[in-house]
Amino acid sequence: MVGVETSINAPAPAATSSDARRPLTRRDTRVDLWIAALTAVLGLATLWLSAVIVADADGAGSPSIVESVLWLVGLCAPLAFRRQRPVAVLVVVSAVFLAAQLRGYPDTLTPSIVEFVAIFTANAWAARRARALVVSVVVTAVMFVWLGVWLRSVYVSDAEAPDPVTLATIAYTLVSNGIVLVTAIAFGRAARVSATRLHALERTGVELRAAHELVADRAINEERTRLARELHDVVAHHVAVIGIQAGAARRTLDRPEIARGALSAVEGTARTTIDELDRLLSVLRSRDGEAGSAPAGLGALPELMADTRALGLDVRFSVHGDAHDVPESIGVTLYRITQEALTNTLKHGNASLAEVQLRYGDRTVEVEVVDDGRPGPTPYPGAGLPQATAASGAGLGQRGMRERVDLHGGELQLGPRPRGGYRVHAVLPVSACADARPRDHVATDPSGRP
């Protein structure tokens, strides 16, 4: 039946949150109009056949054709609003059904179909299931009372007791009509549950797609932040080194040997920058999601110290505690923090000495970078940078350090020291350190500096 198939997917207006259904569409309204029209056409055909049968038997008590058509229109027209006002349509259709039968309406097939659809609609689409069930039960009870009275008037005579055939006919009529009415209620409630579950699945699908898009956006933003940190670490440090060495070369043009060394340092740093940028771009081009080799780690700290000393800044590096294997990501984080701290010392600190201490604890690994920065003339050639260059960082380096430390749930302290200079102290938790096998203790860097 068209009405049954449509009701499974159709919504009821003003549904509660537990019975939420999709909103009623114009297509649903057009379908209801077609159902009402087709039911009226079917009713005209069955009315004509019933009128012929009744007239051939004895149709003295039947209404006129015009009145019968009016009863049919009153019975079928409410179906056009069955989804908008399901309970009201049930009450109207039931009242017209009983009134038409009391007037002797000859047809019973089309009215029974309309009554079935009305009861089904009320239980499938009403905003309140309890009210729809109560109204359906009341209507069913009234129908049974009317049916019993009608059967008694037709088959039972006051003068004679009913024979077995009459009783069987009455029982058969009551059971068949009862099955139709009860089935309409059961099918309607089952269709309501199916439609509710379908809408819940559709809504869950929409929410899942929205959540997927949100997760994707967050992943993209996190990847952008990570790439921004990497680019800042590469560009800020190496470009600062290049600027310092270029400044040193410019100031020592009258001393060719010193200028030549500074330019050689510029050349080497530029190549290193190109290598790291190429590595970073290769990660972006990779399709298998592999991160590639780490840019640096704790093992690269002595090389970083040596490169910084080549710029004229005295760097003292020491390791305290039993050195343990640490996760690669933590090693990279500590390396980048140290690199950024030394870069800031070169650019802004006006310092002549920096101390870098790497400490291994039972559950933590920490690095501390302090310098003796102070106002005054530059302590080594090329240490001073133009003000515009020095201010170009805009705090991105410190923001990157904080983001790296927060990513691992660590702590970061940075700021000027009371007696001058600047201090950067990062502590990262490493639960695996206490269970790792210690390596040989390293007290100082390979350069042999104290």
The whole-number pLDDT of residue 404 equals 80
Rounded Cα–Cα distance for residues 134 and 415 (Å):
75
- Between the CA of residue 197 and those of 122, 125, 194, 410, what are the distances in Å? 18, 14, 5, 46
Whether 339 contacts 377, CB under 8 Å: no
Query: What number of other Cβ atoms are within 10 A of residue 372's Cβ?
Result: 19
pLDDT range class, residue 424, cuts 50, 70, 90: very high
Per cent of the chain over pLDDT 70 is 72
Confidence of residue 357 (pLDDT cuts 50, 70, 90): very high
Phi and psi torsions of 64, nearest 5°: -70, 165
Q: Report pTM.
A: 0.47
Q: Is pLDDT larger for residue 449 or for residue 131?
A: 131
- The answer to whether residues 195 and 10 touch, using CB atoms and an 8 Å cutoff, is yes
DSSP-H helix ranges across 287-346: 301-309, 328-344
Q: Do 181 and 113 meet the contact criterion of CB atoms below 8 Å apart?
A: no
pLDDT in the model for residue 175: 82
Phi, psi angles (nearest 5°) of residue 297: -160, -170
What radius of gyration do the chain's Cα atoms show?
A: 44
b/e burial code for range 279-304 (CB count within 10 A of at least 16 → b)? ebeebeeeeeeeeeeebbbbebbbeb
| pLDDT band for position 214 (cuts 50, 70, 90) | confident
The 10s digit of each residue's pLDDT in 376-423 is 444 444 444 333 333 344 466 777 788 888 888 889 998 888 888 889
Residue 365's pLDDT is what?
92
pLDDT per residue as tens digits for the range 74-92 = 999 999 998 888 999 999 9
Taking a C-beta distance cutoff of 8 angstroms, is the pair 411, 427 a contact? yes
Within 10 A of 201 (CB to CB), how many other CB atoms are there?
10
CB within 8 A of 425, min separation 6: which ones?
366, 367, 368, 369, 412, 413, 414
